[in-house]
């Protein structure tokens, strides 16, 4: 089975107050770091950015595409990203650009769980982590169908297809603190991520 990745960047970074994808993280920027980590496990990588969004320099083999939908959330970004992987991949690891503590072993563990499911999503007992998950590229059209019906929740796509919910307890052996599920939505989150991640 062929796996790629989609990195979704289109958010407005309202709580952060500045574009998250360009925040400095060690000797690289946030998006560059996320792509580097993901690239240790899968290729190709598609970065989905909003129209007009400035994207920092990335390796030549990373495809930067523009979201086909304005302000429709991560489901729209997923649909766009899966479209650009359809010819090359059976499934994709999907993440947001603000997850700088991703661990390659965590990504690989989710990929290994796919089997004949349509999606693999971590579940912590309360929250389904739909933006750190694996999706079949064939879910592109169902995602578009939801958007056409004015349904914008990515969780809805997960619920309507054969999805494997993986308890986070099954992932702690490869990521004991579940750092891979930490997003940096605020300056406080970013400061904590820097404290935990510099040198990794």
Backbone angles phi, psi at 28, to 5 degrees: -145, 175
For strand 132-136 and strand 91-96, is the pairing parallel, antiparallel, or unpaired? antiparallel
Q: pLDDT at position 197, please? A: 75
On whether the CB atoms of residues 22 and 53 are closer than 8 A, the answer is no
Backbone angles phi, psi at 31, to 5 degrees: -65, -40
Please list the pLDDT of the chain residue by residue as tens digits (200 residues): 999 999 999 666 556 657 788 899 989 999 999 999 999 999 999 999 988 889 999 999 999 999 988 788 899 999 999 999 999 999 999 999 999 999 999 999 999 999 999 999 999 999 999 999 999 999 999 999 999 999 999 999 999 999 999 999 999 999 999 999 988 878 888 888 888 876 55
Tokens standing for 76?
A: 């729209």
d(CA 99, CA 38) in angstroms, rounded, equals 11
- Give the number of C-alpha atoms closer than 13 A to the C-alpha of residue 175, restricted to the C-beta side: 23
On whether the CB atoms of residues 74 and 131 are closer than 8 A, the answer is yes
Which CATH number does the domain 3-197 belong to among 3.40.50.880, 2.60.40.10, 1.10.150.110, 3.90.550.10? 3.90.550.10
Collapsed DSSP state (helix, strand, coil) of residue 64: strand
Burial class (CB in 10 A: 0-12, 13-18, 19+), 88: middle
Tokens standing for 6?
A: 């989609």
Backbone angles phi, psi at 151, to 5 degrees: -105, 115
Tokens standing for 58?
A: 């990335």
Number of helices and strands in the chain (H, E): 6, 9
Tokens standing for 106?
A: 């965590």
Q: pLDDT at position 16, please? A: 63
Q: Where are the domains of the chain?
A: 3-197
Q: pLDDT at position 12, please? A: 60
What stretch of H or E contains 196? helix 187-197
Closest CA to 22 of 33, 6, 7: 33
Q: pLDDT at position 47, please? A: 97
What percentage of the chain has pLDDT greater than the value 90? 77
């Amino acid at each position: 089975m062929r796996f790629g990745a989609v990195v979704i960047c289109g958010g407005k970074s309202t709580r952060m107050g500045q574009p998250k994808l360009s925040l400095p993280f060690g000797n690289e920027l946030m998006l560059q770091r996320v792509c580097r980590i993901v690239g240790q496990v899968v290729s190709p990588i598609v970065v989905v950015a909003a129209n007009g969004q400035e994207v920092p320099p990335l390796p030549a083999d990373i495809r930067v595409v523009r979201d086909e939908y304005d302000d429709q959330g991560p489901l729209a970004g997923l649909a766009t990203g899966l479209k650009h992987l359809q010819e090359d991949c059976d499934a994709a690891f999907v993440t947001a650009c603000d997850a700088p503590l991703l661990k390659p072993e965590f990504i690989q563990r989710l990929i290994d769980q796919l089997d004949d499911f349509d999606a693999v999503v971590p579940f912590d007992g309360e929250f389904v982590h739909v933006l750190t998950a694996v999706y079949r590229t064939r879910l592109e059209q169902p995602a578009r169908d939801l958007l056409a019906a004015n349904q914008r929740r990515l969780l809805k796509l997960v619920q309507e297809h054969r999805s494997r919910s993986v308890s986070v307890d099954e992932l702690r052996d490869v990521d004991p603190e579940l750092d891979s599920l930490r997003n940096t939505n605020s300056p406080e989150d970013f400061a904590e991520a820097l404290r935990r991640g510099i040198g990794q």
